[in-house]
Structure 1
Amino acid sequence: MKGKKIAQSIEPNIADLANGWLKSDKLPYKLEQETVNTEIDKALSDYFTKNGGTGANRPDAKILLQDKNLDFFPILIEYKGYKDKLVKLDANKQVENRTNKNEPHFKNINSYAVNGAVHYANALLHHTNYTDIIAIGMTGYKDDTGKIHHEIGVYYVSKSNLGAGQKIDEYSDFSFLVPKNFDAFIEKVKTLQLSQEELDKLKEQREREIDQSLVKLNNDIYQNEKGLGENDRVYLVAASIIATLGIPGKVTPLEKSDLRSSTEKGNKDGDIIVRKIKSFLEEKDIPSEKKNLILRTLENTLTTENINKVENGESQLKRVFTKIVDDLGIYYKIGLTTDFTGKLFNEMYGWLGFSQDKLNDVVLTPNYVASLLVKLARVNKDSYVWDFATGSAGLLVAAMNEMLNDAKNNITSPQELTQKEIKIKAEQLLGLELLSSVYMLAILNMILMGDGSSNILNIDSIKDFDGKYGFGKTDSKFPADAFILNPPYSALGNGMNFVEKALGMMNRGYGAIIIQNSSGSGKAIDFNKRILAKHTFLASIKMPVDIFIGKSSVNTNIYVFKVNEKHHKDDIVKFIDFTNDGYTRSNRKKASNNLKDTNQAKERYEEVVNLVRFGKSKLNIFTEREYYEGTIDPNNGADWNQTAPSDTKPNIHDFKKTVSDYLSWEINTLLKQNTFEQELGK
């Protein structure tokens, strides 16, 4: 029996065919070892390779083209020589370059032409200022007659699709790159848009990757970099990211090669990073008081002697900086609007056993819960949103995302949209945080997310806040019409003091808070009665007990309010048992994903929002055992956590079942008795 014939790669033939097109069309292509420019070469060298190492990412061909607007587009081309080796997609029809564990899928990156090209494109997103890249894969085979058959995949990899890559169209050759066709090709590229659902799936995937990268990074620093406390680690990540963000045309991003581990006074690695951060903050037009606070805080960590001490030609600071940029760079370069420092904060402090520490009072809201609060507070592009205990600004980030999405979906003029986005970030968000270390995180978070940091204030929201803007229109009242909150547990009434003050400073709108549910059953009676005398209580949502897993197992409810309308005893309140929210949570240190959608979680969260807003007609997944419309006594203040009453009156079905159970028992007893008597009579 003959062995199975193994197909031979015809990659040289495919390369010869494709490069022949490029040559005849007089395109300025460069082959594997050739240079396009130092920025692209360096990015490919710095990025992890198709085998997981560094230093040898070499696309088979590279071109840098300009369109009619003089914008540059790197084109990266990868050849293969087998049938069916063009592209490997995942279940969501995305280029599958990550495994289920959110690790690089080296087999796919190595074996498939498009996957390899998209991998190279991500190197440029990570390490250059290019934000729009064309990734081309081409493969083929010879049929029985020796004729070559080829296929081409052309994908767009950019900030807008979070580096995932989108198929542009079907092509049989490379003539779309020829100057006379290139502008039309780029116009087609610019019309590509991911649906909101596709974008949401990608964001989720990227956020899981961020979690994994943060765990890996923190574990690495924790185990291998001695002498760095938890605050140092947080500040080093923040400083490294700010230094590498850059501002196009004004501040060049700091490169790893800029840190030379010099011992010269004023020119140590820490001094260089501080200068870069200074330049960045100057251009950002941040209030000087805030700017000085950021610099002071980061400088304390960056300029210490130990971290700048040079051993074996390298400082600890450069080593840590390199790890941070390599592990996290892609995520903030692609402009992912997530609660980045919130994730960072949770991960860093997750390594500490601070159960007896006062910091245990700072429990950050998971982003899917933050998004729920934002929707319950009816946030839209025109909202003015504030948070009186802002933590790392996770709730404000969620609000900002909702506002920006609403603006994008409803404003058709690009110029008007740009102005609205600026206004949202500068004027429509306000956060208050008393703890200075957490306040620093909130500022850094909003800077990293596109800079909504203008009105994040480091003051006591109960004692010192007068309702005015902290920056810009400092003489004007902030016209809040949406209030979101996750208060510290130790505050008066479990935090209802924040609610009373915030709602009392609003003229209209809605509030949504997540709070210990004992505040609605007796711990905050006086606060609650005063709140109900001015505002309507719309809904009480009982949340899963493990929502803050790893931080706290406290019982929480979300309470929703309508501002400036007194609560009447006959007002209908929606009570929802949301203890089954569809997610399964775990708290395993090395797990790639501690949050799994195991029972229609997304749909359940959406249904809760609709039930609160529209009532019983929106019941679908939930039943009337979990959804109950009732009333509360405005003079009680301890009846906010009701559940659907169970019907104790028996019906005909209950009667039949009882009779059936009795007869069954009677027959069993008789049978056993007969058997016993027979046994005796033997």
Structure 2
Amino acid sequence: MREKKTAQSIEPNIADLANGWLKSYQLDYKLEQESLNTEIDKALSDYFTKNGGSGANRPDVKLLLQHENMNFYPILIEYKGYKNKLVKLDNQGQVENRTAKNDPYFKNINSYAVNGAVHYANAILHHTSYTDIIAIGMTGYKDENEKIQYQIGVYYVSKSNFGIGQKVGEFSDLSFLKRENFDSFIKQVKSLSLTQEEIEKLKEQREREINASLVKLNNDIYQNEKGLGENDRVYLVAASIIATLGIPGKVAPLEKEDLKSSIEKGNTDGDIIVRKIQAFLEEKQLPKAKKDLILRTLQNTLTTENINKVSNGESQLKRVFAKIIDDLGIYYKIGLTTDFTGKLFNEMYSWLGFTQDKLNDVVLTPSYVATLLVKLARINKDSYVWDFATGSAGLLVAAMNEMLNDAKNTTTSPDELKQKEIQIKAEQLLGLEVLSNVYMLAILNMILMGDGSSNILNKNSLTDFDGNYGFGKPSEKFPADAFILNPPYSAKGNGMIFVEKALNMMNKGYAAIIIQNSAGSGKAKEYNQRILKKHTLLASIKMPIDLFIGKSSVQTNIYVFKINEKHEKDEMVKFIDFSNDGYTRTNRKKASNNLKDTDRAIERYQELVNLVRFGRSKLNIFTDKEYYENTIDPENGADWNQSAPIDTKPTLQDFKKTVSDYLAWEVSNLLKQQNKEEESPGK
């Protein structure tokens, strides 16, 4: 019996062919063992150490090519020598470099040319300042005539496609890398665009990875790093991220190698991180008082003796810093800002132990609900928005996004737009957060979002706040005309105490708050009576009961107000039952996505905004059962949660149905009786 002959790899032939082309194009390419530049070399070695790979840790060929706009593009080429070993895609058509458990799929990375190249490209995206990389895979085999048949795969890996990689086109050689062809190749690359659906899918994929990374990081620090309290963990994550953000051309991102684990006074790892944060905050031109507060808070954790103590040549701080950067670096690097920070803060809130709090007080508003509040408060580029219980600043982030979008859509001068964006971030947002650890998260969130952190204040909005700007113009009133809030429900009147204080400090505008609905049915009676003497309740929206699934199961309502206009007794209030918002929520730990649009959710949210603004004429998906207009008694304060009356008078149809049900029951009984008689044995 003849043994089956295994195909032999012709990788050396493929490498010889492709490298011959590169040589003929007179390109300065580097082979596997050679150095391209220290930044890229270091990134490649770091990435593999982190992922536990062994063996061939280097791409077969590396190049750095410059485009006409002076940007450099790293090019990574990986060769294989078998038929059908070009690329392995998942069922979504994406390069499959992650397993279902979100671990690196080493079998694919090692066996397929493109998968290997895309993996290397992610190393560079993660650990260097390059944000656009070209990953090339090439493989082939010899046919029956000993002629080499080959395939080439060219993929673009960048911040804009979340590092997943997009196929650029079909190529039969590498001449697109020639100097005279490279600029038009980059034009082709830049014209690649993702559909909204693809973007959503990629985000979903990255979200799964973020969740896995955050849980892993938390468990790792919790189990292996002794002596770090809950606050320390939060401050360490905040400090590590700020230190590695960098500012192009001004502040270099802090690298793991910069931490020397020295015990020399003034040069410990903590001192080094503090100096880097200081340089970053200086360049951000934050007000001095604000800067000092951030530094003071982080310094307390970063400079303690224990965390800087050196054991086996490494401080605990360096070890934790490395874990944070390895696990999270890629996500804020590729610009998944809102999604990333939302996930980060949800996870970190659970570290802070609030979830065990019997009051369940600190509950983050889901981003799509934050956007709804922003739209209901009619926020635009010229709004001045404040939030009296900022938490991680999710509501202010949503407001900032809406304001920046509005500015983009309505400003035609690039110079004007730039000025407006700076003004929005520096002057048009104000948030108050009394808990210092949560306050640090709000600061970090706003810094990651492009820095609207100027007026996030670490103050008690009920007792310490006078309505003035916190920094920059401390003697000037903040001219608020939009108020958004998700208050701690343990505060007086379920949190209506915050609403009364904020609205009374405003001269005009609108407010949208999400609150436990008992606030509108008796729990906050006195506050509500006082509020209505000065402000109008426009709408009361009953939200889905499972809106905060996994965190809290209280029934919430959104109340929308017009500011500084007394509520008249004949004023019509819009009562909307939004229990079915179109989303299905689950609380499964392993679910890839716990929020699914199962019934036109996006359209429902838009219709809700239109109904509150324009009334019944906008009814389309919803019916009169869910939309109801009625008056409230301004003297009452406990009649804010009304619903459409149900007509209890029976119709002829109801009568016919009752009769037919009764007859069916009667007939079925007679038949049963008859069967029994037939079956009973004779005497």
Query: Normalising by the residue count of structure 2, what TM-score does the alignment of the two structures yield?
Result: 0.90
Q: 1:188 to 1:617 in 2, by over 3 A?
A: farther
Matches for 1:175-574 after TM superposition, within 5 Å: 175-338=175-338, 343-351=343-351, 360-408=360-408, 415-568=415-568, 569-574=570-575
2:53 alignment partner, SS class: coil
2:286 alignment partner, SS class: coil
Q: 1:208 to 1:661 in 2, by over 3 A?
A: same
How far did residue 205 of structure 1 move? Answer: 3.3
Residue by residue over 1:187-207, the C-alpha shift from the partner in whole angstroms, topping out at 9 and shown as x without a partner, is 343444444554344334333
Query: What is aligned with 2:164?
Result: 164
* Aligned partners of 1:133 and 1:156 also within 8 Å: yes
Matches of 1:485 and 1:536 in 2, distance apart?
17
Matches of 2:193 and 2:278 in 1, distance apart?
37
* Aligned partners of 2:354 and 2:362 also within 8 Å: no
Aligned AA (2:494): N
Matches of 1:220 and 1:597 in 2, distance apart?
31
How far did residue 327 of structure 1 move? Answer: 0.4
2:338 alignment partner, SS class: coil
Q: 1:294 to 1:352 in 2, by over 3 A?
A: closer
How far did residue 136 of structure 1 move? Answer: 2.2
2:249 alignment partner, SS class: coil
How far did residue 659 of structure 1 move? Answer: 1.4
Matches of 1:7 and 1:621 in 2, distance apart?
61
Q: 1:563 to 1:218 in 2, by over 3 A?
A: same
Query: What is aligned with 1:23?
Result: 23
Matches of 2:430 and 2:352 in 1, distance apart?
30
Gaps of 5+ in 1: none
1:152 alignment partner, SS class: strand
Matches of 1:191 and 1:413 in 2, distance apart?
24
Query: Is 1:585 paired with 2:586?
Result: yes
1:97 alignment partner, SS class: coil
Aligned AA (1:161): N
Q: 1:405 to 1:67 in 2, by over 3 A?
A: same
1:39 alignment partner, SS class: helix
Aligned AA (2:211): D
Matches of 2:169 and 2:417 in 1, distance apart?
29
Query: What is aligned with 1:47?
Result: 47
2:337 alignment partner, SS class: coil
Aligned AA (1:557): N
Aligned AA (1:374): V
Q: 1:440 to 1:353 in 2, by over 3 A?
A: closer
* Aligned partners of 1:246 and 1:252 also within 8 Å: yes
Residue by residue over 1:563-584, the C-alpha shift from the partner in whole angstroms, topping out at 9 and shown as x without a partner, is 4444453525041232565232
How far did residue 322 of structure 1 move? Answer: 0.8
Query: What is aligned with 1:136?
Result: 136
Aligned AA (1:586): N
Query: What is aligned with 1:599?
Result: 598
Aligned AA (1:517): N
Q: 1:158 to 1:147 in 2, by over 3 A?
A: same
Query: What is aligned with 1:656?
Result: 656
Aligned AA (1:577): F
Aligned AA (1:597): K
Matches of 2:431 and 2:136 in 1, distance apart?
45
Pick which of 18-27 and 524-533 moved more.
524-533
Pick which of 269-278 and 317-326 moved more.
269-278
Matches for 1:94-173 after TM superposition, within 5 Å: 94-173=94-173
Q: 1:180 to 1:155 in 2, by over 3 A?
A: same
Matches of 2:106 and 2:618 in 1, distance apart?
46
Q: 1:675 to 1:204 in 2, by over 3 A?
A: closer
How far did residue 211 of structure 1 move? Answer: 2.4
Aligned AA (2:269): D
Q: 1:613 to 1:185 in 2, by over 3 A?
A: farther
* Aligned partners of 1:577 and 1:643 also within 8 Å: no
Q: 1:84 to 1:533 in 2, by over 3 A?
A: farther
* Aligned partners of 2:628 and 2:643 also within 8 Å: yes
Query: What is aligned with 2:174?
Result: 174
Pick which of 13-22 and 616-625 moved more.
616-625
* Aligned partners of 1:45 and 1:56 also within 8 Å: no
Aligned AA (1:578): S
Residue by residue over 1:370-428, the C-alpha shift from the partner in whole angstroms, topping out at 9 and shown as x without a partner, is 23322333334443322111011121122223333444555566555444433332222
Residue by residue over 1:115-134, the C-alpha shift from the partner in whole angstroms, topping out at 9 and shown as x without a partner, is 32222122112111112222
1:468 alignment partner, SS class: coil
* Aligned partners of 1:575 and 1:630 also within 8 Å: no
Residue by residue over 1:569-613, the C-alpha shift from the partner in whole angstroms, topping out at 9 and shown as x without a partner, is 35250412325652323164xx36472426245555455445444
How far did residue 430 of structure 1 move? Answer: 1.3
Matches of 1:115 and 1:540 in 2, distance apart?
53
Gaps of 5+ in 2: none
Aligned AA (1:376): L
1:136 alignment partner, SS class: strand
Q: 1:433 to 1:592 in 2, by over 3 A?
A: same
How far did residue 519 of structure 1 move? Answer: 0.5
Matches of 1:359 and 1:274 in 2, distance apart?
36
Q: 1:536 to 1:191 in 2, by over 3 A?
A: farther
1:361 alignment partner, SS class: coil
Q: 1:607 to 1:279 in 2, by over 3 A?
A: same
* Aligned partners of 1:362 and 1:391 also within 8 Å: yes
Query: Normalising by the residue count of structure 1, what TM-score does the alignment of the two structures yield?
Result: 0.90
Q: 1:676 to 1:587 in 2, by over 3 A?
A: closer
Q: 1:641 to 1:473 in 2, by over 3 A?
A: same
Residue by residue over 1:66-88, the C-alpha shift from the partner in whole angstroms, topping out at 9 and shown as x without a partner, is 12232211111223344554444
Matches of 1:179 and 1:539 in 2, distance apart?
63
Matches of 2:358 and 2:671 in 1, distance apart?
67
* Aligned partners of 1:584 and 1:596 also within 8 Å: yes
Pick which of 189-198 and 255-264 moved more.
189-198
Aligned AA (1:399): A
Q: 1:354 to 1:244 in 2, by over 3 A?
A: closer
How far did residue 433 of structure 1 move? Answer: 1.5
Aligned AA (1:37): N
1:331 alignment partner, SS class: helix
Matches of 1:8 and 1:625 in 2, distance apart?
71
* Aligned partners of 1:574 and 1:615 also within 8 Å: no
How far did residue 662 of structure 1 move? Answer: 0.8
Matches of 1:649 and 1:2 in 2, distance apart?
88
Pick which of 249-258 and 321-330 moved more.
249-258
Aligned residues: 680
Pick which of 125-134 and 231-240 moved more.
125-134
Residue by residue over 1:415-452, the C-alpha shift from the partner in whole angstroms, topping out at 9 and shown as x without a partner, is 55444433332222211112223222211221232211
* Aligned partners of 2:575 and 2:643 also within 8 Å: no
Residue by residue over 1:549-568, the C-alpha shift from the partner in whole angstroms, topping out at 9 and shown as x without a partner, is 44433221122233444445
Q: 1:354 to 1:50 in 2, by over 3 A?
A: closer
Aligned AA (1:80): K
Pick which of 329-338 and 106-115 moved more.
106-115
Matches of 1:160 and 1:9 in 2, distance apart?
35
Q: 1:402 to 1:247 in 2, by over 3 A?
A: same
How far did residue 268 of structure 1 move? Answer: 1.6
Q: 1:651 to 1:36 in 2, by over 3 A?
A: same
* Aligned partners of 1:337 and 1:401 also within 8 Å: no
Aligned AA (1:333): K
Matches of 2:667 and 2:176 in 1, distance apart?
84
